[in-house]
Amino acid sequence: MSWFTSTFTSSIGKKLVMSLAGLFLIIFLLVHLGINLMVLLENNMYFNKTAHFMGTNILIKIFEIVLFGGFIIHMIYALFLQIQNWLARPVRYKIENLTNQTSFFSKYMIHTSVVILVFLVIHLVDFYIKAKFIGDVSDVVYNGKEYHDLAALVEAKFLLGGAVIFYLIALLFLGFHLNHGFQSAFQTLGIDHKKYTPVIKFLGVIYSILVPLGYACIPLIIYFAK
């Protein structure tokens, strides 16, 4: 079996691919947050123009294909590994669970991922599919050029209390998922060092709190203050 085939079929290979895809998604979440926070600015032009750039630039379009690939690979491999774990001898597992110092969040990765998946599907239908495929978004003109008014779409969504609550719950689960996922990805890549591992763990905790909080500001500020 070639190294390429074994990377995609062995347990450790699957975990490696899953971790790399996860790290890629961690970077995406930061970029996506940075752009989305612009929707809170007084002038919607900045958000709409940036979203337009992100939706039309050829490099970003390629990135988008990689992104969706990353999500799918991450989810399919996580599912494979989880099924493999469930099929493994349960007795051994119970003992492992008693002895290793897994965090609370690490035990619920598959559960939190289901909530994130449901969120993602609803989220893409709400914004991405509406804007890209249904054309269910109004247009605005800046300097004689037409742009989708995505900001208006986001604002309309978060004037609904139900949507705000749904986003906040999903973001809480995202935080739980990231709390373990961040440091676990580095560990799978072999970074296990007396000095660096605590730093990675600390960064993971900070990231898993600040990023979901940053996202949560958007529905909350739109609902209560915009």
Interaction pattern, residues 135-154, with ligand HEM; x per rule: CB under 6 A: ---------------x---x
- Residue 105 makes contact with ligand HEM by CB under 6 A: no
Please list, in sequence order, all residues whose beta carbon lies within 8 angstroms of the beta carbon of residue 187, skipping any fewer than 6 positions away. Answer: 197
Choosing from 45, 54, 81, 152, the residue that interacts with ligand HEM (CB under 6 A) is: 54
User: CB 102 → ligand HEM: shortest distance, Å?
Assistant: 23
From the list 25, 15, 17, 71, the residue with the least C-alpha distance to 178 is 25
- Residue 218 makes contact with ligand HEM by CB under 6 A: yes
Q: Measured from the CB atom, is 24 or 167 closer to ligand HEM?
A: 167
d(CA 81, CA 86): 9
- Residue 49 makes contact with ligand HEM by CB under 6 A: no
- Residue 127 makes contact with ligand HEM by CB under 6 A: yes
Choosing from 13, 26, 32, 197, the residue that interacts with ligand HEM (CB under 6 A) is: 32
The tokens describing 167, both together, are 């986003």
- Residue 80 makes contact with ligand HEM by CB under 6 A: no
- Residue 64 makes contact with ligand HEM by CB under 6 A: yes
User: CB 218 → ligand HEM: shortest distance, Å?
Assistant: 4
CA atoms within 13 Å, Cβ hemisphere of 153:
25
- In order, the DSSP letters of 83-148 are HHHHHS-HHHHHHHHHHS---TGGGGHHHHHHHHHHHHHHHIIIIIIIIIII--S-EEEETTEEEE
Give the binding site for ligand HEM (CB under 6 A).
32, 36, 51, 54-55, 64, 116, 120, 123-124, 127-128, 131-132, 150, 154, 167, 174, 215, 218-219
